[in-house]
């Protein structure tokens, strides 16, 4: 029987070319006979699970677990920001059948709500008894384990865990600095002088005052500047999020530093240091303002922003590189944005799954060295080769016209709907030298701060949050915009603003946030 399984594994996998490799890989076998488990998978990149993905094929050969796609709601849009429950998941629940495995973006709130009601299996004991790699991972990262817990203390999904710390950074036209005899700004005062020089001294040299000193693809990156006046714009990688300060949950838009920051951003806006169209120009603004030789500085992702240095072939001397966060008015240098270590995306075990032990072992497989490589780099010999014990992408992958990540999604690697631990090395191999230099600069200064990893509410807390938060948030954003655009005055209106927030229930929301936070993180 065992020999037969071995032969089948050898036949099933083209990557296995010798008996010795096949025997070594026997350790990943979860079931002697092929075992089929149904899966619902729905996220932005892939609204179904594809059984012919090379990554699935290799995982199948190694584990003997075969995932069968039964996804419902495949054509629904699932990319809505800030809603935990995707339409596809609700549709699946309404169908009355929950597959053995459910993988989705934004699955966290959904499983934390329906898991305790029996729709999904609690994973804690299964992990303790059958998943040594997951167990080890969570033991080494207790904050991540706490962040995963539902209000009943159980864990209901295995998340997609991003790797690498750095996300966004401050970028500036170094060739414009050179042209004007300036150095990268070290303080908020120098940053203002620099932006003013960009506005008034014609660094692009066309004789017109057409420069747009600070711009942003996503307008909330304008709010990021409040950190220069010791305010905060978000506590996590989600815009407008709550934050942890002194072990308490607070909201950044009710703080003194925020008021001071908004006041100064409004001044910068009035002086033309900020793109007049920042709220409306939209996602193509970086592409447009850089390729037209108009944009001076922004706050955006290391890798993609560094890629614009390709424009040096069209714009003489073009150099758009990261600079360290300028010191705030009190001398603090922080980079507020970083990659969050845990996503609300991943996969869970359906409450009626007849093979929970095999399923958790399958989840555990993706946390073995081999499984993690498969989830990150695709199939060996196809997307990558092993060189000195490291997975190295083939030249054909690195030099393709198709971005590396897109190539990987197409073979079933780097899936948001799979619980796996990303390996930053997969990205470092195709990041350009400007991005790597910038990351080294930020690493040297140690500018990152801790993030708020979210809370799981019980049913009563959820009601309070749902009743008040949407209205409060809308009000905050509406006031914020009028202050920046100069149709309101933040100093004059601040006391009334705080009174309105409390009237709208901010204190109640903060109270349930803090109760949940203390329960979850034991702080």
Name the site residues for Ca ion (rule: CB under 5 A): 202, 204, 206, 208, 210
DSSP codes of every residue in 36-69: EEEEEEE-SS-SS--TT-HHHHHHHHHH-EEEEE
Smallest gap from Cβ 175 to Ca ion, in A, equals 13
**Least distance CB 179 / Ca ion (angstroms):** 11
N-terminal to C-terminal alpha carbon distance within the chain? 53
Q: Nearer Cβ to Ca ion, position 172 or 265?
A: 172
Q: Whole-number minimum distance, CB 295 to Ca ion, in Å?
A: 12
DSSP alpha helix (H) spans, 95-215: 108-114, 124-130, 132-140, 142-148, 174-179, 188-200
Quote the least distance from Cβ 370 to Ca ion, whole Å.
Answer: 55
Dmax over Cα atoms in the chain, in whole Å?
Answer: 82
Nearer to Ca ion, 81 or 208 (CB): 208
From the number of C-beta atoms within 10 Å of its C-beta (0-12, 13-18, 19+), residue 254 rates as: middle
Comparing CB distances to Ca ion, the nearer of 296 and 412 is 296
Smallest separation, CB 211 to Ca ion (Å)? 5
Q: Which is nearer to Ca ion, 198 or 302 (CB)?
A: 198
The SS3 of residue 367 is coil
For residue 203, the minimal CB distance to Ca ion (Å) is 7
DSSP assigned state of 16: -
Minimum separation from the CB atom of position 163 to Ca ion (A): 41
Handedness of CA 288, 289, 294, 300 (dihedral sign): negative
CA distances from 23 to 7, 11, 28, 329 (A): 10, 13, 10, 63
Beta carbon nearer to Ca ion, 5 or 179: 179
Q: Which is nearer to Ca ion, 38 or 204 (CB)?
A: 204
Q: Name which of 105 and 204 has its Cβ closer to Ca ion.
A: 204
Task: Give the separation between CA 356 and CA 144, rounded to whole angstroms.
Answer: 23
Residue in the block written with tokens 């690493």 = 443
Phi–psi pair at 268, nearest 5 degrees: -60, -40
> Residue 62 or residue 182: which is nearer to Ca ion going by CB?
182
Give the contacts of 444 (CB within 8 A, at least 6 positions apart): none
CA angle at residue 131 from 128 to 137, to 5 degrees?
A: 85
Report in angstroms how near the CB of residue 409 gets to Ca ion at its nearest.
Answer: 41
């Amino acid at each position: 029987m065992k020999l037969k399984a071995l032969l089948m594994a050898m036949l099933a996998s083209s990557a296995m070319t010798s008996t010795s490799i096949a025997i070594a890989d026997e350790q990943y076998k979860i079931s002697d006979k092929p075992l089929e488990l149904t899966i619902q998978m729905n996220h932005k990149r892939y609204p179904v699970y594809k059984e012919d993905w090379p990554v699935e094929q290799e995982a199948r050969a190694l584990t003997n677990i075969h995932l069968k796609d039964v996804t419902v709601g495949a054509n629904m849009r699932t990319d809505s920001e800030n809603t935990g429950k995707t339409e596809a998941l609700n549709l699946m629940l309404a169908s009355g059948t929950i597959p053995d495995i459910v993988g989705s973006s934004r699955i966290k709130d959904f499983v934390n709500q329906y898991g305790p009601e029996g729709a999904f299996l609690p994973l804690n004991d299964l992990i303790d008894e059958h998943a040594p790699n997951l167990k080890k991972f969570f033991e080494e990262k207790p904050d991540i384990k706490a962040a995963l817990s539902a209000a009943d203390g159980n864990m209901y999904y295995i998340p997609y865990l991003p790797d690498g710390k750095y996300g966004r950074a401050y970028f500036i036209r170094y060739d414009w600095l050179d042209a004007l005899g300036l150095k990268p700004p070290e303080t908020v005062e120098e940053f203002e002088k620099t932006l003013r020089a960009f506005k008034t001294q014609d660094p692009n040299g066309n004789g017109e005052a057409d420069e747009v000193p600070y711009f942003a693809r996503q307008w909330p990156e304008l709010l990021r500047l409040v950190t220069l006046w010791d305010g905060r714009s978000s506590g996590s990688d989600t815009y407008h999020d709550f934050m942890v300060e002194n072990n308490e949950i607070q909201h950044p838009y009710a703080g003194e530093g925020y008021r001071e920051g908004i006041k100064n951003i409004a001044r910068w806006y009035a002086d033309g240091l900020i793109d007049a169209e920042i709220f409306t120009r939209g996602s193509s603004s970086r592409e447009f303002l850089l390729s037209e030789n108009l944009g001076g500085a922004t706050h955006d992702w290391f890798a993609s922003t560094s890629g614009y240095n390709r424009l040096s072939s069209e714009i003489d001397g073009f150099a758009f590189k990261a600079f360290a966060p300028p010191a705030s008015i009190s001398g603090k240098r922080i980079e507020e944005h970083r990659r969050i270590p845990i996503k609300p995306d991943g996969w869970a075990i359906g409450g009626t799954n007849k093979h929970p032990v095999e399923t958790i072992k399958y989840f555990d497989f993706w946390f073995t060295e081999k499984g993690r490589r498969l989830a990150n780099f695709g199939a060996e010999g196809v997307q990558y080769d092993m060189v000195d014990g490291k997975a190295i992408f083939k030249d054909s992958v690195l030099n393709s016209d198709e971005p590396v990540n897109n190539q990987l999604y197409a073979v079933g690697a780097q899936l948001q709907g799979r619980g796996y631990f990303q390996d930053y090395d997969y990205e470092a191999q195709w990041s350009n030298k400007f991005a790597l230099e910038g990351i080294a600069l930020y690493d040297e200064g140690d500018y990152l701060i801790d993030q708020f990893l979210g809370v799981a509410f019980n049913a009563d807390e959820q009601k309070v949050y749902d009743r008040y938060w949407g209205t409060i948030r809308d009000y905050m954003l509406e006031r914020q915009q009028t202050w920046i655009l100069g149709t309101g005055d933040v100093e004059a209106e601040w006391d009334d603003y705080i009174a309105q927030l409390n009237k709208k229930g901010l204190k109640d929301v903060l109270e349930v946030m803090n109760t949940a936070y203390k329960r979850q993180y034991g702080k």
